[in-house]
Chain A
Amino acid sequence: MVGLMGLIIGIILGVIFNVNIPDQFSPYMSVAILACLDSVFGAVRASLSKNFQPDIFISGFFGNALLAAALAYLGDKLGVPIYLAAVIVFGGRLFDNFAIVRRLLLEKIKSRG
């Protein structure tokens, strides 16, 4: 719940403020966003299975984002699309977490009703 509110506030801030990050960083931003989404989904799943630990979440969030951006940058310099590895792994984890969250929610609904 807090997370959702934070998300909405963040989106509003992003729309209002005209930040000028140089355009060359924009592909790295995309991969970092994917890493962040994966972290958030992992956090949702952890909180549903009562395993949530905020320091793991936050360190995972920033660490994964930085690592993904660094990998994309390295891949650019070497000419090998290494960012694909980040995309596949984070996308895969996203779907895995989402499947677990789905099961947990369905079990919760079944156990209530």
Chain B
Amino acid sequence: MKNMRAQISVAIVCAILGFMLAYQFKVLSNQENTFSLGTTTSTDVTIEIEQYKKQKTELEAKVSELQEKVNAYEKAAAGESDASKALLAELEKSRLLTGASDVQGQGVVIYLDPTSDLFGTGTGHITDKHLVYLINELRFAGAEAISINDIRVIGLTGIRNAGNYILINDNDKVSYSQKITIKAIGSKDLLYSSLSFPEVFSEFTGFCDVKFEKQDKISIPKYTKAYNFEYAKPVK
């Protein structure tokens, strides 16, 4: 009787072992199938990134070259008649208002310097909500052009947290552990006084140093992505 029980328990235990072995092999072979990065190494990925970065700068240079050509053609076409000149002026003005051209003027510059905390994480860090809040304040005070770390912020710009960075305009990243510079062109007195309200920066003071100043000649670069409305069509 005791022998029977012993044998049965041994059999059960061995069955458990066999089950665990088979399960583990299955899981590992599944993982190898799905995680297909097995053949490439981190150096390959780094090299790919470098290539993409180089491609991106080359393409950006090409874009600005083509844009200049377009401008030249527009001027040439507009030189024919007054109507074309008026159209060109209208086009330039639209470009200015939609953020497709570099601008400069007076305004304020805000410097957000994250304080290095002794205890590491501390009370938090700058998030997308902080940036959105600041931009809202600036717009309400009449800012005509805003840029974050020289990334132009237009009406269609989205700002979102993504891991260790804050993504702006889908492609550009801002790291919240480094200094963030927000430039805004508008009436510098109005902007400055609206930022001087005490509760504007009350949420920032915990984890970063806030400094803002008026400046007379701020230049803000243009919005670099291609503008295209895919879904919104004009109402006739």
Contact = CB atoms under 8 A, between A and B. Distances in A.
Interface stretch (B4-12, B96-104, B174-182): B4-12
A111 interface: no
Q: Which 10 A-B pairs have the closest CB atoms?
A: A10-B18, A14-B22, A6-B14, A10-B15, A6-B11, A54-B6, A11-B18, A14-B19, A10-B19, A7-B18
> Looking at chain A, what size class is its interface with the partner chain?
20 to 34
A23 B9 contact: no
A73 interface: no
Contacts of B12: 6
Interface of A is mostly: helix
Contacts of A2: 7-8, 10-11, 14
Contacts of B22: 10-15
Contacts of A57: 10, 13
Interface stretch (A25-33, A89-97, A98-106): A25-33
Given A14-B22, A15-B26, A36-B20, A7 B14 contact: yes
B199 to A, nearest CB: 41
A9 B8 CA distance: 13
Nearest to A19: B23
